[in-house]
Amino acid sequence: MRAIAVVFLTVPLLAQHGRYLSDSHHPSIGNPEAIAAGTKLFMGSCAGCHGPDGGGGARGPNLVRRSLWHPLSDEAIFQVIRKGVPGTDMPPTKLTDDQTWNLVAFIHALTGPASTNPVPGDAAAGKAVYWGAKAGCANCHAIRGQGGKTAPDLSNVGGSRPLAVIRESIVEPGKDLTYLGNEAAVVELKDGRTLRGVAKNRSNYSLQLVDGTGRLHLLRMSDVKELTLQETTAMPVDYGTRLSRTELRDLLAYLAAQDIRPAEGKGSK
Ligand code: HEC
Ligand code: HEC
């Protein structure tokens, strides 16, 4: 296990993880036709810089990762597309309102919560994969009170993460630990105690640590003697091969549907 001793990095936006700004109720959001039209426009006008799947290129950032530390509301994305980002390579456009909303729908599908977008796969079959012995997800993760407590609770994973990020967490675990606020941490306190768990909402002044029993500790950094963050992950790294493509697709459909928000808070489906 590689451990990094921490030079207290300031991560000011960490507290915003998984919070998406004011879901818009514009009819294009979550609408498969609007998303398809937006995909076409994106391929023609945007993919040259942002990559065909928004994954980034030489001249434009990865829009999925960027949304984790710089979440934008649908209206803000609309304005970015219309006006560009002055002083950067992101150009203004002269698209109609409808075309611009189609692009927003595409970007929302890419970077917005998985539960607010159409997702391929069979969620009922995915439920069986999730709770089954082959995947064993519930040994570590809980959904709505059922399952293990050593890993992050997944009751709202679809309501808080884009589909691409959920997929990455499963097939390439460990990649986004810092962004997702899931760093494994060992905290040595000045009073002699040592706590181990997952570091949440870390700032220069405070740290929230969830220990192996699921208990939340609110710590002041002034009480901490040493904080060690681990780059490695406890999440199994072989799901990309252990599960079939169909199992993975269905599992993602099940996870995408995990959303604890009241129904009216969701985008139109
Ligand atoms: C010439 C390259 C280029 C093209 C073409 C381009 N972008 Fe960008 N885009 C950028 C760059 C560079 C940034 C980062 C700007 C910054 O530093 O804030 C960006 C940022 C963005 C952001 C994030 C803004 C934020 O504040 O987080 C969105 C959304 C976006 N682009 C969407 C699009 C869409 C949709 C299109 C097609 C209509 C497009 N871009 C075309 C280069 C480009
Ligand atoms: C041995 C324990 C263990 C098992 C089994 C396990 N996970 Fe994880 N998982 C973790 C831990 C610990 C994390 C916290 C982040 C990390 O360390 O990568 C995590 C992170 C995640 C995340 C990211 C959570 C977030 O906050 O975005 C998702 C999604 C996830 N796991 C899904 C699954 C699924 C689906 C399965 C079954 C196919 C599974 N996990 C099996 C331990 C486990």
pLDDT tens digits for 241-263? 999 999 999 999 999 999 997 65
- In the chain, the amino acid numbered 39 is T
Q: What is the pLDDT of residue 22?
A: 53
For the chain, first and last CA: distance in Å? 43
- Give the number of other CB atoms < 10 A from CB of residue 23: 19
| pLDDT tens figures, 107-145 | 998 988 899 888 899 999 999 999 999 999 999 999 999
Q: How far apart are CA 17 and CA 197, in angstroms?
A: 18
Ligand 1 centroid distance, CA of 59 (Å): 9
Between the alpha carbon of residue 204 and those of residues 8, 18, 170, 218, the distances in Å are 6, 20, 30, 13
- Give the number of other CB atoms < 10 A from CB of residue 4: 10
Ligand 1 centroid distance, CA of 235 (Å): 33
Is residue 17 scored above 70 in pLDDT?
no
- Which sign does the torsion angle of CA 93, 99, 105, 106 carry? negative
For atom 41 of ligand 2, the residue with the nearest CA is: 137
Torsion angle defined by CA atoms of residues 256, 257, 262 and 263, in that order, rounded to the nearest 10 degrees? 110
Counting ligand 2 atoms within 8 A of each CB, the residue from 169, 175, 230, 255 with the most, and so the one to mutate, is 169
Q: Which residues does ligand 1 sit against, CB inside 6 Å?
A: 42, 45-46, 48-50, 59-61, 63, 66, 70, 72, 77, 80-81, 85, 88-91, 93, 103, 107
Ligand 1 atom at minimum distance from 48 CA? 5
Ligand 2 atom at minimum distance from 181 CA? 26
Indicate the length of the chain as a whole number.
269
Instruction: Give yes or no for a contact between 218 and 203, defined as CB atoms under 8 angstroms apart.
Output: no
- Least confident stretch, 146-150, 163-167, 232-236, 237-241: 232-236
Q: Considering every ligand atom shown, identify the ligand nearest to the alpha carbon of residue 154 and give its number.
A: 2
Instruction: Give yes or no for a contact between 242 and 135, defined as CB atoms under 8 angstroms apart.
Output: yes
Ligand 2 centroid distance, CA of 149 (Å): 11
Unique residue bearing structure tokens 């597309």 = 81
Q: Which residues does ligand 2 sit against, CB inside 6 Å?
A: 135-137, 139-141, 151-152, 154, 157, 161, 166, 169-170, 173-174, 177, 180, 182, 184, 233-236, 239, 251
For atom 21 of ligand 1, the residue with the nearest CA is: 90
Torsion angle defined by CA atoms of residues 145, 146, 147 and 151, in that order, rounded to the nearest 10 degrees? -30
Instruction: Give yes or no for a contact between 217 and 209, defined as CB atoms under 8 angstroms apart.
Output: yes
Instruction: Give yes or no for a contact between 92 and 217, defined as CB atoms under 8 angstroms apart.
Output: no
- Give the number of other CB atoms < 10 A from CB of residue 153: 18
Tokens of 265: 């808070």
- Give the number of other CB atoms < 10 A from CB of residue 18: 17
- Least confident stretch, 11-20, 101-110, 121-130: 11-20
Q: Considering every ligand atom shown, identify the ligand nearest to the alpha carbon of residue 176 and give its number.
A: 2
Q: How far apart are CA 146 and CA 154, in angstroms?
A: 10
Counting ligand 1 atoms within 8 A of each CB, the residue from 65, 70, 81, 85 with the most, and so the one to mutate, is 85
- Least confident stretch, 77-91, 124-138, 180-194: 180-194
